[in-house]
Structure 1
Amino acid sequence: MSAALTLAKPEHLDRLIALCAAFHAEEGIVQSDEQRRAALAPLLEGQPYGVAYLIGPPRAPIGYIVVCFGWSVEYGGLDAIIDELYIRPGVRGRGIASEALISLPKALSGAGLRAIHLEVDHTNEKAIKLYRRAGFSPRDNYMFMSKRLA
């Protein structure tokens, strides 16, 4: 099975919403399909703040990655956060997520990215192992913190 990345476009929105809903159900994230549509559609229409990639064949994707862009003085320019990464349960454990994470920097190389970050539950040993295999490492003395504004 291939972990090929396809930049998601407006015609992929319904497939992406279905994958996102499955991920949110697994993670206990409460959000309606209308809210997902409002959050994802701008990325597929060229919003410069992020992109979504389908993993696998675009007509029947097996997962997705959403990447949001930012700016870092520390890293010297454009950086990104992997906001969501999801692989369908039936195809997990086959190296697809690893392959997708290793392919992601290549897909984004033309954007001049200086760093890619992600957030992971510190108790999710399987995910931590996956991210380490893909070249991510924790930053000593740092933790990701958030404040909801709306």
Structure 2
Amino acid sequence: MSAALTLAKPEHLDKITTLAAAFHAEEGIEMPDEARRAGLAPLLNGIPHGAAYLIGPPRAPIGYIVVCFGWSVEFGGLDAIIDELFIRPGVRGRGIATETLMSLPRALAGAGLRAIHLEVDSGNEAAVKLYKRAGFVTRDRYMFMSKTL
């Protein structure tokens, strides 16, 4: 099975919303489907702040990844955060997430991206191992913090 990536477009909204609902249920993220769709739709409509990709065949995707763009003085330019990454449970363990995490940053670097970041539950050993295998490192003295507005 391949981690072929397809830039998600408006016609993929139903598919990616279904995948996101599965991810959110798995992670205990509670939100109405309308809010989920409202968070995804602008990414599929081409806003410059981020992008969503379907993983696997677009007609029957096996996962998705969302990246959101920003700017970093420290990293010298355009950076991104992997906001969500989900692979259907039935196809996990086949290297699909690793392949995605290796290929997407390389492709984005070609477009000028200088760094890519992500947040992970430090207790999720499988995810930490996956991200380390894909070249992500923990930054000493730093932790990701949030404030909801």
TM over 0.5: yes
Partner of residue 15, structure 2: 15
Q: How does 1:66-85 map to 2 (within 5 A)?
A: 66-85=66-85
Partner of residue 28, structure 1: 28
Q: How does 1:1-150 map to 2 (within 5 A)?
A: 1-149=1-149
Letter in 1 for 2:90: G
Question: How many angstroms does 1:111 deviate by?
Answer: 2.6
TM-superposition CA deviations, 1:101-145 (whole Å, max 9, x none) = 001113323431000000001111110110011010000010000
CA distance in 1, matches of 2:34, 2:108: 28
CA distance in 2, matches of 1:11, 1:38: 14
| Structure 1 unmatched ranges of 5 or more | none
Q: Number of residues paired by the alignment?
A: 149
Counting aligned pairs with the same residue, the percent is: 80
Letter in 2 for 1:19: L
Q: Secondary structure at the match of 2:16?
A: helix
After TM superposition, the runs of 4+ consecutive aligned structure 1 residues lying more than 4 A away are: none
Pairwise CA RMSD: 0.7
TM-score by length of 1: 0.97
| Structure 2 unmatched ranges of 5 or more | none
TM-score by length of 2: 0.98
CA distance in 2, matches of 1:111, 1:50: 13
Question: How many angstroms does 1:80 deviate by?
Answer: 0.1
Letter in 2 for 1:3: A
